[in-house]
Amino acid sequence: MAIIPPFLQAGSCIGVLCPAGFMPLDKAQTCLDVLQQWGYRVKAGETLGKQFNYFSGTDDERLQDLQQMLDDPEVDAILCARGGYGLSRIIDRIDFSRFVERPKWLIGFSDITVLHAHVYRRFGIASLHAPMAAAFNNNESENQYVQSLRSSLAGIKEDYQGNSHPLNRVGSAKGELVGGNLSLLAHLIGTPSEIKTKGRILFLEDVGEYIYNVDRMFYQLKRSGKLDKLAALIIGGFTDMKDTTVPFGMRVYDLISHVVKEYDYPVVFGFPVSHSRENYALKIGATYKLKVSKEKIRLKQK
C-alpha cells in the first residue's frame, strides 16, 4: 500500500517551479494568486519564468531548484507549473532521501509523469496527477477540474461519476492507481522508473501524437507485459491527434480497443483526464474502486 503524504492545512506552503519546459512568469501568476486565495503560502522556485532554450533553465539549474524544494522543510507540496520535456534528463541525479523521510505531494501531469512514476516505483509514495498553472488562467480556477486539485490537497477523497462510452467493457475492479502520459510511460520501460501494473488500475492519456505512434506505444506496453494483468484500464483524452498522408485507417479509441480486446478486465474510454480542460485530479498510488456499467462509470477513492 502506498505511503500517502500529509494533506494540506490553511497556511501550508506550496512550492511552484518548472522542472522541465519553460513557462513565462506571467502565465503562472494567476495560479500563484489563487493558491494564496485558497489559504496557502506560496514559494516560487528559481526556474519559474527562467529560460534556457526549450527548458526552464539548464539541467543543473532545474535539478538544483527541484532538489531545494524537495529538501525544504517549510514546503508541504510541490506544484510543477508546466510539463513539456526535461525530467528524464535529471531524474537519476535527484537525491530523494529527505523527501522519503518527509513525503510531500508532487503535483502535475504530462512530463511530470516521469516524477510520479519514479517516486511510486522506487519509494512507494503517492503523488497527484492534476492540473498545472495554465489551467488557472482565463477565469478557469473555479471549474470542477481545478477545484478537484483543491479538494484532493485538502484530503477529500475523489468520487468521479460519468456517462458510459460505446467501447467501454463493463465490470468492477479495485486496485492502486498508476498511469499518466502514454508517451512517457512507454519511454520509461527498461529504466529504474518503469511502472508496475499487475493488479493495478492503469490510466493513460496523450496529446499531439500521430495515430500510428499511439498504436506503436500500446504495442510496446503490451509486449512488455504492462497490459497483461491489470485490474482495469482507464483511457482518458487523446487530444490533437494527427494522421499521416496515407491514413492509418482507425480512430485512436478504436485502435486501443483492438489492442486490449483479448483481456477481460473493465475498460473505460473518455475519462476526463487529459491535456485539455477536462483533467480531474487523481492520486497515483492511492486505492480506487472502479465500476463500469452500460449506463455510467464511477471511480471512487477508497
Instruction: Say which residues have a Cβ less than 8 Å from residue 43's Cβ, sequence separation at least 6.
Output: 13, 14, 15, 16, 69, 72, 74, 75
Sign of CA dihedral 106, 85, 176, 281: positive
Is residue 109 domain-shared with residue 22, that is, in the same domain? yes
Mean pLDDT of the chain: 98
For the stretch 81-105, what's the b/e string if a residue is b when 16 or more beta carbons lie within 10 angstroms of its beta carbon? bbbbebbbbbbeebebeebeeebbb
Per-residue pLDDT at 1 exceeds 90: no
Cell 467501447 identifies what position? 167
CB 273 within 8 A of CB 149: no
Is residue 166 domain-shared with residue 297, that is, in the same domain? yes
Looking at the domain assignment, is residue 254 inside a domain?
yes
Residue 293, helix vs strand vs coil: coil
Looking at the domain assignment, is residue 5 inside a domain?
no
The domain boundary, picked from 129, 153, 177, lies at 153
The domain boundary, picked from 109, 134, 153, lies at 153
Is residue 185 domain-shared with residue 144, that is, in the same domain? no
Looking at the domain assignment, is residue 285 inside a domain?
yes
Residue 188, helix vs strand vs coil: helix
Looking at the domain assignment, is residue 109 inside a domain?
yes
Per-residue model confidence (pLDDT) at position 284:
98
Is residue 181 domain-shared with residue 163, that is, in the same domain? yes
pLDDT digits 0-9 by tens, 87-102: 999 999 999 999 999 9
Overall number of domains in the chain? 2
Residue 275, helix vs strand vs coil: coil
Tell me which residues are annotated as active site.
110, 205, 275
Looking at the domain assignment, is residue 297 inside a domain?
yes
Q: What is the distance between the alpha carbons of residues 288 and 284, in angstroms, rounded to a whole number?
A: 10
CB 169 within 8 A of CB 267: yes
Q: What is the distance between the alpha carbons of residues 269 and 232, in angstroms, rounded to a whole number?
A: 11
CB 19 within 8 A of CB 119: no
Per-residue pLDDT at 58 exceeds 90: yes
pLDDT digits 0-9 by tens, 271-301: 999 999 999 999 999 999 999 999 999 999 9
Per-residue pLDDT at 198 exceeds 90: yes
A 10 A CB-CB count for 118 gives 25
Range of the domain at 180: 159-301
The domain boundary, picked from 99, 120, 153, lies at 153
The single-letter code of the amino acid at 63 is L
CB 164 within 8 A of CB 195: no
- Nearest in space to 177 (alpha carbons), one of 231, 220, 118: 231
Is residue 199 domain-shared with residue 97, that is, in the same domain? no
Looking at the domain assignment, is residue 8 inside a domain?
no
Strands 282-284 and 127-129: antiparallel
Looking at the domain assignment, is residue 4 inside a domain?
no
What's the mean pLDDT in 215-230? 98
CATH of the domain at 184: 3.50.30.60
pLDDT digits 0-9 by tens, 104-121: 999 999 999 999 999 999
CB 47 within 8 A of CB 18: yes
Is residue 169 domain-shared with residue 294, that is, in the same domain? yes
CATH of the domain at 60: 3.40.50.10740
